[in-house]
Structure 1
Amino acid sequence: MPKKTRAKRTEIDWNLFVHQPDTQVNSDHAEATKQNLKHIERNFRKSLTNNARFTQRLDPPDAQTWLKNITLRVVEGFLRWYLDNHNVEYQSTFLVFARYFRMYWCEEMRREFSYDLRRKMTMLVCTTLTDEYELDLGGKTQPSVNIDDLLYSTYHLLAVCDIAFPTFRCQGQLSTLRKMMTSTSARPGTLVESSGYMRSNDALKWKDIELYMVKNPDNPTCQVLLMRVTHRLNKGKRNKGVPPVFIYTERNDNLGLCVIQDILEYAFLDNAFASERIKCPRDIWNLTEVPEHRLSTTIHFKEAVKEIPIFRRAVKNGGGLWITDPRRALNFGTALEYEKSTSISAGSKQKGTFYKYRKGAAANLRHLDEHSRNVIMGHQRSGTFAYYVSVRDDTQSAFMETPARDALLKLACNSSLTRDASAPQHLTEPQRRSLEKDKELDQLKRECQALRNDLIAEFHQLNKAKCADAGRYNAFLILQRRVKARRKKIHDEAKERVRNEFFENIGNHIIDQNYQGTSVKFQPDTSHIQPERKQLAELEFKNRDVDNIDDAELIEDRIRSLELRLRLHGLHVPKSLRKRVKFESMPAIKTEPQPFPMKSVTGLECPVCLGVTDIHPTAKQFRYSRKNGLQKHFRTHKLPQMFPNGRQCDIPGCSEVLFRLPEYMLHQAECHKIIL
């Protein structure tokens, strides 16, 4: 490539140049640091909302004045105000907040923070404020996981968990995140959209994946899949320097733990393969034979998808149905909610966060040299590694000079020690009713109902009040949100309290039952799980010795697994039906569902669900027990009053086009005997 010619520059008067004012130099903080500094600014200065922040309560209410005349008293007032208005639990968390305040002050004042004031500020946080606000001096602990925990949680998520995910892909992505974090010790922000980089849409993308069919060095006649994944978004080095590359190989002993199988599934869903010849799972193995003069066949991805994140969020389309967003990355907050919900469903005593998988991976890296650990985990200092691992050596046996009891030690150091799937996951109906008597909730409900009655009495309809008196109507909406928030808060606290009481007393309960001669038994209810999910779990979790199995059988299992996975994306069960539909014993998977008659026998099926293609046939033709139940469900689809372009009747086989919702409902009643 020829060297670019440098553009000719005009002659500069250097004497004039050096006498000009200094150039304004911007800080080079990472995006996450900038977000934290903005958080400080929002709390110190006037808020973007109507809620007054700290300096708005002072005289004069000018933030710049107080920044210029900073004193320990001003700092203490701001820190106390923040503690009064935010739920701060740990001292270490608040010390970080105080450090960001100093950084914010330096950015605004363009000079260093006073050393004496900084020292007094730290002492204030560590002594007076810690004592008065009872800040926890410890740190957040994560339950460590090992391969047994990962195997259990992956199987439970597929075959037992009844959490209602928006789409089946959301459920699969959670499983893939767990497997990738335990395999590489990656932080969650390396794989999904980090909370410190919101709206950046930067996560693991198709351009970070390299997929190959290679000759197995141990058996050159056998071909296996191999994948290289580049971690561009490591903490402190996001899109900078030389990123680490991790290798994934086929896992035929347990297909449920194979990350390559997951990536192939997403590639088919996204139509990501560059070759037009790859149209079904069988083509992956039939058309990628490695030439004799090569060691691999590269499986390319389309240029059009390389900038698209692999892990993506679920959104509602125009018809109110959940779909996978074509471009927007899955954010950390949503993924964390999925993780906590499924951890509770699996019976974990501590829900933890995604970092428990990173901690579990770190435990198996402790015997590597310091440099290798830092490269794999993305650490700059070797001492950081000590925070991730606990004592995992049998010190008792070492002193007694006896063989280490590794199996018991492995059990004692991981979350499976206290896991119990029988732990309560929901509140009972009497418990729910008792929470409605909460004084604050009751007062909010009374205020909300009184304002609603006044608006209806004056304007007859809430919609009219919205236009005639926007101020009072907005106050009514705010009260509704406060009622909802208060109810959710006390429900979450009650559920957490019930779970804690269960784990604190489960040992005594087991002892009492054994004393009475009645052993404690638990059988999970899987009647709400699609039989296809159970069939897939049975295929993928065989835990077999692949050395004793023919390669052709292994390939057929992988193909069948991919076919089942892709089919499950079209067999979704809506959240509203998840607890209602009970599947019978596993039937054979039918290629075509039974056709629905043009005139309903019972009139209790939802016509909109009947027209959706990616719903399980059993859920699609679900019959509600009463008409009001059907009508309540129909309203959840939120169909508009008018269909400008017309809406074809959703009943399969009916070609009638309708333009108004009342016309649509009348058509269902007259032609299909479904009264909505």
Structure 2
Amino acid sequence: MFWCEEMDNLFQYDLRRRMTKLVCTTLTDEYELDLGAKTQPPCNIDDLLFSTHHLMAVTKVNFPTVRCRHQHSTLRKMMTSTSARPGTLLESSGYMRSNDALKWKDIELYMVKHPEDANCQVLLMRVKHRLNKGKRNKGVPPVFTYTERNDNLGLCVIQDILEYAFCDGAFASDRIKEPRDIWRYTHAPAHRLSTPIHFKESLREIPIFRRAVKDSEGKWVTHPTRALSYDQAQEYEISTSKSAGYKKSGSLYKYRKGAAAKLRHLDEHSRNIIMGHKRSGTFVYYVQVQNNTQSAFLEMSLRDVLIKLSINANLTRDISVFQKLSPQLKQDLEKDSEFISLQYKHDLLRAQLISKYYQLYKSRETNLYKNFKEKFYISAKDKQYNEFFENIGNQIIENNYQDKPIKIFVKFEFKNKDINNINNIDLVENRVCSLELHFKMYKLPANFSKDCTCDYPGCDVILSTLPRYKFHQNTVHNIHL
């Protein structure tokens, strides 16, 4: 593809046939390439609720900034709400230098009168998906509508967009300076059904999801213009999914699959528009068998709840999975022959450098040693993680036999409320308080626990203060904090 684009020409027919044979036959047989496909279970609402709570309140995965953590939660919710591809909302891997992603110009925010209650006004948001696959910035893009989720603020996308708008100073009106101003000054007049809440013209081309970078002082900040890349978001997804105890961490596409499973009842043309497909047959790759075929043949009563459980990610989720290598396993890894050989070469090179240059700092760990050690521990950690899920059934049976059940306490902060029993004033107050708490998270001090172990893979040095931790990261691992 690159050659054809650069040369503005097509491959010769004979050359294309030989290339196809080389890749699909010769190389496949020679290297025993796997022709199968990796599968990942989709997510349902229970998975999203659990994952959102775990990401915001429980996980120990480090994010460079508070906004990075919140953005990842918003990305999940938007994908499940619209079945969008991650490349529609973020900077796609195929367009790395375009800096094109969901931008402020794609957002329309309104305060509208509730059709069923004239005294109630709620927020409504319309989002335009310009970057659908195969139709990037072409034709008429689909527009998706979001409404307030007062029953569960943790799943409300509008709440997150308001947070980013305040952080970016995106509101065009000078009267909107704090969260309470949104509901204080935007009441729709009698002759209108809505009040548009405009964003600044100067920010129209600025992406909403943005990456974290280091400033001149070495502190992590949100880049003012650069979009968050799909590759970086995928790394966050793998880390947080493992932290939450999912057997298969999968990719961000599991949220798109979860949304697709809820679109089965629509006609094929509607599904194609929503999911951005050119052919209706593509949809079948996103869904699994959800029909109760057993009950249909045996003429039994339907058990749809069990069928839904069997195909979703929460079937095998286990938050008790080990997140770190055990001390015994670390000791066993140190006895590996390849590791010992590399350690010997490292010590020999260190001694040679000292004898030649008489300076210790030039004899620090080589990149070869550090890279091997890091990969060595990561592979061992992944092996331990996979073995846990392969043997967890036997472990549960053994513990139950010995009357020692595994107990993991999970408290959901995000509660589903019956909004019919809550008046509008309290609902607005809840939203304002939620936004104010979000902003306080940006100002939380970074507390350092005493006797903290270095979190660099394979390093177990115990550090007592934050300055010593930073000095250790800088001098030993060449990481500037």
TM-score by length of 1: 0.65
| Paired position in structure 2 for 1:253 | 151
* 1:548 and 2:424 are equivalent in the alignment: no
User: 1:265 touches 1:562 (CA, 8 Å); kept in 2?
Assistant: yes
User: 2:126 touches 2:144 (CA, 8 Å); kept in 1?
Assistant: yes
| Paired position in structure 2 for 1:561 | 434
The unaligned stretches of length 5 or more in structure 2 are: 454-461, 476-481
| Alpha-carbon distance in 2 for matches of 1:146, 1:311 | 24
User: 2:353 touches 2:359 (CA, 8 Å); kept in 1?
Assistant: yes
| Alpha-carbon distance in 1 for matches of 2:5, 2:465 | 61
User: 1:157 touches 1:342 (CA, 8 Å); kept in 2?
Assistant: yes
| Paired position in structure 2 for 1:656 | none
With over 3 angstroms needed to count, the CA separation of the structure-2 counterparts of 1:634 and 1:507, relative to structure 1, is closer
Question: Residue type of the partner of 2:34?
Answer: D
With over 3 angstroms needed to count, the CA separation of the structure-2 counterparts of 1:208 and 1:114, relative to structure 1, is same
CA offset digits 1:277-332 (Å, max 9, x no partner): 11111110011000010111011111122211111111222222222122211111
Please give the secondary structure, in 2, of the residue aligned with 1:166.
Answer: coil
| Paired position in structure 1 for 2:254 | 356
User: 1:320 touches 1:637 (CA, 8 Å); kept in 2?
Assistant: no
Displacement after TM superposition at 1:580 (Å): 5.0
Q: How does 1:131-530 map to 2 (within 5 A)?
A: 131-461=29-359, 480-523=366-409
Question: Residue type of the partner of 2:158?
Answer: I
CA offset digits 1:432-466 (Å, max 9, x no partner): 23323444444444434433433333333378x7x
TM-score by length of 2: 0.90
The number of equivalent residue pairs is 467
Please give the secondary structure, in 2, of the residue aligned with 1:562.
Answer: helix
The unaligned stretches of length 5 or more in structure 1 are: 1-32, 38-103, 466-475, 525-533, 582-625, 640-676
Displacement after TM superposition at 1:141 (Å): 1.1
User: 2:451 touches 2:463 (CA, 8 Å); kept in 1?
Assistant: no
User: 1:336 touches 1:354 (CA, 8 Å); kept in 2?
Assistant: yes
With over 3 angstroms needed to count, the CA separation of the structure-2 counterparts of 1:405 and 1:111, relative to structure 1, is closer
| Paired position in structure 2 for 1:606 | none
Please give the secondary structure, in 1, of the residue aligned with 2:174.
Answer: coil
| Alpha-carbon distance in 1 for matches of 2:4, 2:451 | 53
User: 1:162 touches 1:578 (CA, 8 Å); kept in 2?
Assistant: no
User: 2:76 touches 2:255 (CA, 8 Å); kept in 1?
Assistant: yes
Question: Residue type of the partner of 1:506?
Answer: I
With over 3 angstroms needed to count, the CA separation of the structure-2 counterparts of 1:124 and 1:321, relative to structure 1, is closer
| Alpha-carbon distance in 2 for matches of 1:286, 1:562 | 15
| Alpha-carbon distance in 1 for matches of 2:381, 2:473 | 30
User: 2:114 touches 2:120 (CA, 8 Å); kept in 1?
Assistant: yes
Report which stretch shifted further, 560-569 or 302-311.
302-311
User: 1:153 touches 1:346 (CA, 8 Å); kept in 2?
Assistant: yes
| Paired position in structure 2 for 1:632 | 468
User: 1:349 touches 1:420 (CA, 8 Å); kept in 2?
Assistant: yes
Give the greater-gyration-radius structure (CA). Answer: 1
Larger relative contact order (Cα-Cα within 8 Å, sequence gap ≥ 6) = 2
CA offset digits 1:107-159 (Å, max 9, x no partner): 659344224x5445434444443233221121121221111110111111122
User: 2:245 touches 2:320 (CA, 8 Å); kept in 1?
Assistant: yes
Question: Residue type of the partner of 1:140?
Answer: K
Displacement after TM superposition at 1:630 (Å): 5.2
With over 3 angstroms needed to count, the CA separation of the structure-2 counterparts of 1:573 and 1:244, relative to structure 1, is same
Question: Residue type of the partner of 1:485?
Answer: N
Question: Residue type of the partner of 2:32?
Answer: E
> For 2:443, which of 567, 570, 585 is the aligned residue?
570
| Alpha-carbon distance in 2 for matches of 1:394, 1:284 | 48
| Alpha-carbon distance in 2 for matches of 1:118, 1:331 | 33
With over 3 angstroms needed to count, the CA separation of the structure-2 counterparts of 1:317 and 1:637, relative to structure 1, is farther
With over 3 angstroms needed to count, the CA separation of the structure-2 counterparts of 1:433 and 1:201, relative to structure 1, is farther
| Paired position in structure 2 for 1:114 | 13
Please give the secondary structure, in 1, of the residue aligned with 2:366.
Answer: helix
Supply the RMSD in Å over aligned alpha carbons.
2.6
| Alpha-carbon distance in 2 for matches of 1:405, 1:516 | 33
Displacement after TM superposition at 1:344 (Å): 0.6
Question: Residue type of the partner of 2:306?
Answer: L
